[in-house]
Chains A and B, each alone.
Chain A
């Protein structure tokens, strides 16, 4: 299709205008609103005890959820790409469930299992309205990312090298560490980045199970909402800006690491 200049500029203006109105200007606006009273006010607002505790809770939960999901993700991707077993299609479909289920339903589901009168009520430690619930919710929402990034890479590289290694006497463990893992490392890295972004930003599922005890079970995203509802708009913007900066960092990492790039 040969599009003349006039049409091309029209289409381009429409596309860029749409993106500007929906994405760029609103996000810019948050930064403007955040810093309009000076950087010191922002600094004070993100270093209150509640904010610091929320920050560390978010980091802790992410540091538990992401490694677990990474190990699961690589194992599951290997099973999907290399294994042959009954029910493979079912396993494949189940992995996508967290993408299709509303975050609120995920939170509700955990309440129905671990909450008062739930299936597993009476565990020796509290799950709902406590940190374990937040961890479970976060793991749930970030289950698919590593699997979904690593499986296509594994399919693409095939298993010739793995077979060669095993023919030459390498055991499974050696083959995995020396052949498979180096070949899929960018896929794994990309999956981890997506998981981290999702874990830090998760709101819906966490807000159902957290109970929002300030300083104890309040994550950064919950802090944003709490401050906004309590008319501390400047504080909500400051916490949002912090989250937005993390998101921008993620974005930068995403453009740097392309899972299917032909490297070296």
Chain B
């Protein structure tokens, strides 16, 4: 009797072994096999060769600049993204729906077009006389462009759901605006800001298309890791490229784990 009931209650539409098998196979072939090749083949020339490539002055400079500019971009995003999200949720003005839709543009626009776009306004032929092409500022700007939506889109829903009564209670108890923001609003937003910022960082570290035209790829100055890797592949040194890629991959994975940990922390924080 019980077994019969249990069999009947088995959820239908369940993918079963076949669906799971196909999913795993697809992911393994498309994603895991190539990434494994990067990791395994990076040491093809021996550990010494790997270590020499990774610790060469140019690699270190490129990796360091990549991480630094990505961190800076993430910080700017955390602040400006929170502010923009606040304006989009709490403020009222004409054309808000349009602005809200515009936020997703960097996700929809091809990265190479994003780079060209910034070059059109802030490059050598700039109509406003600002030329930042081939500087570190240009790299930062490109990263800010492509990572714009992350923090906004992560903070916005939390801000919409945020209970206004909490703020009203704090105000009626005599708290100042600043106290309400620092003690009531901000703590509620922190998990969302952090997860948005982590996504932005992960994206910034690996960004290529929007930077390739803007940075000029000047070693020790504007050379980022992704462009460096690209040049190594172009000059037929895929194993050297793989060595640097492994380091970049390591940074990406670290951030991915951090995002997951933050997600769990945020979920626990909710209850």
Chain A interface (Cβ < 8 Å from any Cβ of B): 1-3, 8, 11-12, 14-16, 18-19, 22-27, 29-30, 33, 72, 75-76, 78-79, 82-83, 85, 91, 93-113, 115, 118-119, 136, 139-140, 143, 159, 162-163, 165-167, 170-172, 175-176, 179-180, 194, 197, 200-204, 207-208, 220-221, 224-225, 228, 233, 236-237, 240, 243-244, 247-248, 250-252, 254-255
Contacts and interface: CB of A to CB of B under 8 A. Distances in A.
B84 A175 contact: no
A251 B105 contact: yes
16 contacts: A1-B167, A11-B87, A23-B102, A23-B106, A30-B120, A75-B19, A78-B14, A78-B19, A94-B27, A102-B245, A105-B229, A108-B242, A109-B35, A143-B31, A172-B16, A221-B112
A82 B19 CA distance: 11
Q: Give the dominant DSSP class at A's interface.
A: helix
Contacts of B11: 82, 159, 162-163, 166
B104 A101 contact: no
* Chain B interface SS verdict (over half): helix
A29 B37 contact: no
Given A30-B113, A105-B245, A118 B37 contact: yes
A108 B238 contact: yes
Given A172-B13, A236-B116, A101 B35 contact: yes
Contacts of B118: 26
B129 to A, nearest CB: 14
B226 interface: yes
Interface in B30-76: 30-35, 37-38, 41
A248 B106 CA distance: 10
Nearest to B32: A94
A83 B20 CA distance: 8
The 7 tightest CB contacts between A and B, nearest first, are A102-B206, A201-B110, A166-B12, A109-B34, A204-B208, A203-B209, A76-B23
Contacts, number: 286
A29 B127 contact: yes
Interface string B82-109: 0110111011010000010111111111
Contacts of A27: 105, 109, 117
Nearest to A101: B252
User: Which residue, B19, B108, B256, has most C-beta atoms of chain A within 10 A?
Assistant: B108
Contacts of B218: none
Contacts of B148: 22-23
Contact of A104 (B13, B26, B206): B206
B150 to A, nearest CB: 11
A102 B251 CA distance: 11
A1 B108 contact: no
B87 A105 contact: no
B109 A247 contact: yes
Contact of B213 (A30, A140, A167, A225): A225
B104 to A, nearest CB: 6
B255 interface: yes
B233 A203 contact: no
Q: Counting chain A CB atoms within 10 Å of each CB, which of B20, B86, B226 scores highest?
A: B20
B15 A105 contact: no
